[in-house]
């Protein structure tokens, strides 16, 4: 390449690494693997080193990635939290050793020792203690300024709130989520139809950087401390000595710390960590080599971005070839049908892989996978096995095309894919794979409100095969329920009473309880009012349903598909036979002063929550909408009302203050 081409390539790489650094550090949603990012950075760093005239201070090779997230207070780090120089082969480790020894000799230091530690895959943070008490914690941010996440860090049980010594100390550690907990989190998110975390690092970072510490508290965060940033009243000669002192103070110190006397021992330690990485309970993305002598560290110094006394060795992702023997299908609790690769067992990164998720139909097609293909497997983020690609050159012609099922492999109901979504779902309400979740929803407070029939009891009833269908709830006998608990007669009677009471519920509760996709409580109330009974709703056409302003074509199709299923028809029939009400209960004495009126709520009300105001409007026969249109009757505007108020004013819609509203409901 000539100089102009080199300059253009450097500019192109800078844009790419800036973009992917933002996705990784700021958004916690990476789009490429760590290895791909590392290779991009390596190419940029090499080109800049060979062409120093093109180096700028804004290049990510010269500064730490990451910014302070909006909503957090800024914290200036008294001692910068720098990143590390990455290397990818042992020749670079030896070159590092040569540089260190040269400066050591020039300063009269004869012996050079190192400590090799695991490079934990998490979010770097600093913990500050005053008089032995934890007073502040911050993320690394850009190395100089981070985010104050003190309250979130306090939720991590392995962080001591008070030390046994009254000292002033700042330590640095890595917040992470263990491999086991990461897998559990993603399994739970998949069952709840939530977006999966890309890897354990981003799960930890996203959890720690929550604006609500109650969310962080629910996440299984942990931390390993690996450095003393600053300490008053004590001096140490070596890094290893510091780590031992931190352990005595009660810190959860990085468990893998190998002292080394020579560069050959360093390389052996790196290899040992690489061999054992699968056995570790936490994910790593490399091994860190640190100079042990603290005086020598001061002599070596730092650049604006990295210390000159440490280096990070990055392990290449291990890839293996195997055969894609078959594609099976797994049905989750929400009915999502996930293709699973059945593989010829192969050992990758220390563990034997015989199956892995293929995520969805689009993933299989993008990879161009066929049953019988030779495929390349690697472990993403040291945890999740994944298929990288098919080796098309090894195809024999006997491979079979992949076809996503149109029927649920568990219950035989229609399997559908809604436009705009990647998931294919089972539509059967009686599907055994979905039964537990469907039962939990059916009895919930906003649905049939069967008090006493919680998740634990439902689990026991299913395990004992006392129910195998939603309608079986209404066939439960007093004796059956009483047998579930010691001295369970009172519990049984209360539950029987609650089950019987649910038979008298209004129609909207039953519609909510059926769990029709996209139909919540609000839509259920509208549908109940529009159709009066379950049969009318079950027979409604997509066209008629779509005419209802709050429904629309997507919800209309979902309703139609639901009631077209034989399983739905069977369930409705059984519920009717059990005496469950399927008709709207009309209150002839009800005050319907808001009937035919649509309200839009915007801004903050002083005396009512949004839910309370909505309930009042609905009680008087009105309805609420989330958007302003020509059909809106009133806009109830509280403090800091925004664009909805402006739009209402432009359309000439009546604006109500809270006082106006209170007069209307007197």
**Residues with active-site annotation:** 119
Distance (Å, whole) CA 655 – CA 637? 7
Distance (Å, whole) CA 438 – CA 444? 10
Give the DSSP H or E segment for 326.
strand 319-331
DSSP state of 143: S
Residue 470's φ and ψ, nearest 5 degrees, are: -55, -45
Helix pair angle (90-106, 263-276), 10° resolution:
140
Residue 21's φ and ψ, nearest 5 degrees, are: -65, -40
Contact 599/634 with Cβ under 8 angstroms? yes
Distance (Å, whole) CA 231 – CA 225? 15
Q: What is the 3-state secondary structure (H, E, C) of 400-467?
A: ECCCCCCECCCCCCEEECCCCCCCEEECCCCCCCCHHHHHHHHHCCCCCCCCCCCHHHHHHHHHCCCC
Distance (Å, whole) CA 142 – CA 157? 26
| SS3 state of residue 276 | helix
Distance (Å, whole) CA 154 – CA 127? 10
Cα 102 to chain centroid, rounded:
47
Torsion of CA 315, 321, 324, 328, to 10 degrees: -20
Q: How many CB atoms lie within 10 A of CB 432?
A: 14
Two tokens, residue 506: 């209004």
DSSP state of 91: H
- 259 pairs with which residues across the strands? 115
How far from each other are the two terminal CA atoms of the chain, in whole angstroms?
80
Label residues 525-556 b or e (16+ Cβ within 10 Å = b).
bbbbbbbeebebbbebebeebbebebbeeebb
Contact 135/129 with Cβ under 8 angstroms? yes
Residue of 544, 566, 568 lying closest to 557 (CA atoms): 544
Q: What is the 3-state secondary structure (H, E, C) of 145-203?
A: EEEECHHHHCCCCCCCCECCCCCCEEEEEEEECCHHHHHHHHHHHHHCCCCCCCCHHHH
Distance (Å, whole) CA 157 – CA 55? 44
Residue 560's φ and ψ, nearest 5 degrees, are: -65, -45
| SS3 state of residue 658 | helix
| Residue 477 Cα distances to 407, 489, 497, angstroms | 35, 12, 11
* Burial (0-12, 13-18, 19+ Cβ within 10 Å), 386: buried
């Amino acid at each position: 390449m000539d100089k102009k081409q080199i300059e253009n390539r450097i500019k192109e790489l800078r844009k790419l690494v800036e973009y992917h650094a933002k996705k990784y550090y700021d958004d916690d949603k990476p789009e490429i693997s760590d290895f791909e990012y590392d290779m991009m950075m390596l190419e940029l760093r090499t080109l800049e080193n060979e062409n120093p005239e093109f180096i700028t201070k804004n290049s990510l090779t010269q500064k730490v990635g990451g910014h302070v997230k909006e909503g957090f207070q800024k914290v200036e780090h008294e001692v910068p939290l720098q990143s590390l120089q990455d290397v990818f082969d042992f020749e670079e480790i030896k070159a590092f050793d040569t540089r260190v020894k040269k400066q050591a000799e020039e300063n009269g230091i004869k012996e050079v020792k190192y400590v090799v530690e695991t490079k934990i895959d998490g979010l770097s943070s600093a913990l500050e203690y005053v008089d032995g008490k934890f007073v502040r914690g911050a993320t690394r941010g850009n190395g100089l300024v981070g985010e104050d996440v003190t309250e979130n860090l306090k939720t991590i049980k392995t962080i001591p709130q008070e030390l046994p010594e009254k000292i002033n100390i700042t330590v640095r550690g890595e917040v992470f989520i263990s491999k086991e907990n990461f897998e559990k989190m993603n399994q739970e998110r998949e069952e709840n139809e939530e977006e999966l975390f890309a890897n354990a690092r981003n799960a930890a970072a996203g959890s720690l950087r929550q604006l609500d510490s109650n969310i962080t508290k629910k996440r299984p965060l942990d931390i390993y401390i690996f450095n003393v940033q600053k300490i008053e009243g004590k001096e140490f000669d070596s890094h290893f000595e510091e780590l031992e002192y931190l352990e005595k103070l009660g810190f959860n110190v990085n468990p893998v710390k190998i002292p080394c006397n020579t560069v050959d021992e360093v390389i052996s330690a790196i290899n040992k960590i690489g061999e054992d990485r699968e056995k570790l309970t936490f994910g790593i993305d490399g091994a860190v080599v640190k100079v042990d002598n603290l005086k020598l560290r001061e002599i070596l110094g730092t650049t604006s971005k990295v210390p000159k006394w440490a280096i990070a060795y990055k392990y290449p992702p291990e890839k293996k070839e195997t055969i894609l023997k078959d594609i099976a299908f797994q049905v989750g609790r929400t009915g999502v049908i996930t293709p699973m690769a059945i593989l010829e067992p192969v050992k990758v990164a220390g563990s034997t892989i015989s199956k892995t998720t293929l995520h969805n139909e689009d993933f299989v097609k993008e990879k161009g996978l066929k049953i019988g293909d030779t495929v390349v497997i690697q472990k993403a983020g040291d945890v999740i096995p994944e298929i990288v690609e098919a080796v098309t050159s090894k195809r024999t012609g006997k491979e079979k095309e992949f076809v996503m099922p149109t029927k649920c492999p568990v219950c035989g109901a229609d399997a559908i894919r809604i436009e705009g979504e990647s998931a294919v779902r089972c539509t059967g309400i009686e599907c055994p794979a979905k039964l537990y979740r469907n039962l939990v929803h059916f009895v919930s407070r906003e649905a049939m409100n069967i008090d006493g029939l919680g998740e634990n009891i439902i689990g026991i009833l299913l395990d004992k095969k006392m129910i195998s269908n939603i309608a079986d709830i209404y066939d439960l006998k007093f004796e059956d329920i009483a047998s579930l608990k010691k001295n369970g007669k009172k519990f049984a009677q209360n539950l029987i009473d609650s089950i019987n009471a649910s038979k008298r519920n209004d129609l909207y509760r039953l519609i909510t309880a059926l769990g029709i996709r996209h139909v919540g409580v609000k839509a259920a109330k509208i549908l109940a009012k529009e159709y009066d009974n379950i049969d009318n709703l079950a027979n409604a056409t997509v066209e008629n349903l779509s005419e209802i302003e709050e429904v629309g074509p997507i919800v209309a199709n979902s309703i139609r598909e639901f009631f077209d299923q034989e399983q739905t028809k069977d369930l409705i029939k059984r519920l009717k036979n059990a005496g469950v009400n399927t008709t709207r209960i009309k209150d002839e004495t009800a005050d319907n002063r808001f009937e035919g009126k649509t309200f839009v709520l915007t801004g903050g009300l002083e005396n009512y929550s949004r839910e309370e105001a909505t309930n009042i409007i609905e009680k008087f026969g009105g309805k609420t909408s989330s958007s302003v249109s020509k059909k809106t009757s009133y806009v109830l505007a509280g403090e800091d009302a925004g664009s909805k108020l402006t739009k209402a004013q432009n359309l000439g819609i009546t604006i109500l203050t809270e006082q106006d509203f209170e007069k209307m409901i007197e």
